[in-house]
Copies of this chain bind each other. A is one copy, B any other.
Amino acid sequence: MNYFSSDFKLGILGGGQLGKMLLYDTRKFDIHTVVMDPSEDAPCRIGCNEFVQGDLMDFDAVYDFGKKVDLLTIEIENVNVEALEKLEKEGLRIYPSPATLRTIQNKAKQKLFYIDHDIPTAPFRRFAYTSEIHTALRNESIDFPFVWKSARFGYDGRGVKVIRTYSDLEGLPDVECIAEDMIPFKNELAVIVARNSKGDMVTYPVVEMEFHPSANQVEYVICPARIAPEVAEKAQLIALKTSRAYGHTGLLAVEMFQTEDDRILVNEVAPRPHNSGHYSIEASYTSQFEQHLRAILGLPLGNAESKVGGIMVNLTGEEGHTGKVVYENMDTIMKMDGVTPHIYGKKETRPFRKMGHVTIVHKDIAKAREIAGKVKDTIRVVSV
């Protein structure tokens, strides 16, 4: 198949910021794209060749969309897997595979997958309903404290809660869930692995999420992570093992904990370009988006090493501001060395909504971290 011509059509389910950044590289390679998203104002509306407005969870919408394209990928996991399974049976290449999506969409299944494949993960118990946790606590088969996680649609902090007492359980939805041991960790790390349809693999360097000292929120993604080389190597090997276990094609972002005693535990994965890899646009020889394309198209993988140190700061809507967005002090941050803002193009801001990100690159990662701190203190995402 000659991808570099207009005969081939790549379908992308989801038209948000990840898709938008993927489209920079489909344009670079002149690959014809067809995007489906429920929103008529989706960031991908511009930059794709064809746009279809449709519900990603609707069987018919996803199935009909799949019939239009030669290869299908996603930029969001929450899509109708039944439709994908039917399309796959009918011969469509879909990366990530519907089987992988089915496992990942359910956190309990995903955790069991790690157990089955001997991939280290924090101990947990699975419950068909949150209410069953009470029984388990009474039987002393689990103890406080633990982390409650809804099995489904629990991404981005929603559907996760630390439970220290019975009262913390109040108000939780009565759904399939897990109760995970609280393991003290010193770092939250991530490794992106790319694997193409021929089985070639490369890993990006380990990145580190630096948290705000009081608010429990990632402030900086730092590449490379400031960890010992042997810990980094262990994290990369576990990420490779995880990608192989899924028989994955495309990018797999593996989120992990580094425990106090330097064990690595897999937390969860995303089978696509990921927030933890945005730094790669400016810092890496091959950006995660180009790499995802190379992987799913069966092209040779690119060099995943970095040209320079990279740090990413998420631009999230400030608290107390809802409405038409304004980015304050953009001029000031753009004066700083190695600073590139990315604005996703969402018209309305809301507290904590991801509106964009800023990358800071520098040969010296300590200097990049210093500039990143200034960026964080300067830029404001507010409403008019």
* A residues lining the B interface (CB < 8 Å): 2, 4-6, 20, 23-24, 27-30, 46-49, 285-286, 290, 294, 299-300, 302-303, 307-308, 324-327, 330-331, 334-335, 337-345, 347, 356, 361
Q: CB < 8 Å: which of B24, B326, B341 contacts A24?
A: B24
Contacts of A23 in B (CB 8 A): 27
Q: CB < 8 Å: which of B27, B307, B330 contacts A361?
A: B307
Q: B27 near A20 (CB under 8 angstroms)?
A: yes
Contacts of A342 in B (CB 8 A): 28
Q: A285 near B338 (CB under 8 angstroms)?
A: yes
Contacts of A330 in B (CB 8 A): 4, 299
Q: A294 near B334 (CB under 8 angstroms)?
A: yes
Q: CB < 8 Å: which of B335, B337, B345 contacts A30?
A: B345
Q: A6 near B347 (CB under 8 angstroms)?
A: yes
Q: B344 near A30 (CB under 8 angstroms)?
A: yes
New A-B contacts (16) at CB < 8 Å, excluding given A23-B27, A30-B343, A30-B345: A2-B326, A4-B327, A4-B341, A4-B343, A24-B28, A27-B345, A28-B342, A30-B356, A46-B49, A285-B338, A285-B361, A299-B330, A300-B335, A303-B337, A307-B307, A307-B308
Complex copy number for this chain: 2
Residue from A27, A285, A342 with most neighbouring chain B CB atoms (10 Å): A27
Q: How far is the CA of A286 from the CA of B335 in the complex (A)?
A: 12
Q: A325 near B24 (CB under 8 angstroms)?
A: no
Assuming the contacts A4-B330, A47-B46, A303-B338, asked whether A29 and B343 have C-beta atoms less than 8 A apart, the reply is: yes
A3 closest partner in B (C-beta): B330
Q: How far is the CA of A27 from the CA of B361 in the complex (A)?
A: 20
Q: B30 near A334 (CB under 8 angstroms)?
A: no
A332 closest partner in B (C-beta): B300
Q: A300 near B334 (CB under 8 angstroms)?
A: yes
Q: B326 near A5 (CB under 8 angstroms)?
A: yes
Contacts of A356 in B (CB 8 A): 30
A200 closest partner in B (C-beta): B335
20 pairs across A/B with beta carbons < 8 Å?
A: A2-B326, A4-B326, A4-B343, A5-B324, A24-B27, A24-B28, A27-B46, A27-B47, A29-B341, A30-B345, A47-B47, A290-B340, A294-B334, A299-B331, A299-B334, A302-B334, A302-B340, A303-B338, A307-B308, A307-B361
State how many angstroms separate the Cβ of A368 from the closest Cβ of chain B.
12
Contacts of A294 in B (CB 8 A): 334
Closest A-B pairs by Cβ, 7 of them: A30-B343, A300-B335, A30-B345, A307-B307, A300-B334, A4-B327, A24-B24
Contacts of A303 in B (CB 8 A): 337-338
Q: How far is the CA of A302 from the CA of B28 in the complex (A)?
A: 23
Contacts of A27 in B (CB 8 A): 20, 23-24, 46-47, 345
Q: How far is the CA of A300 from the CA of B329 in the complex (A)?
A: 12
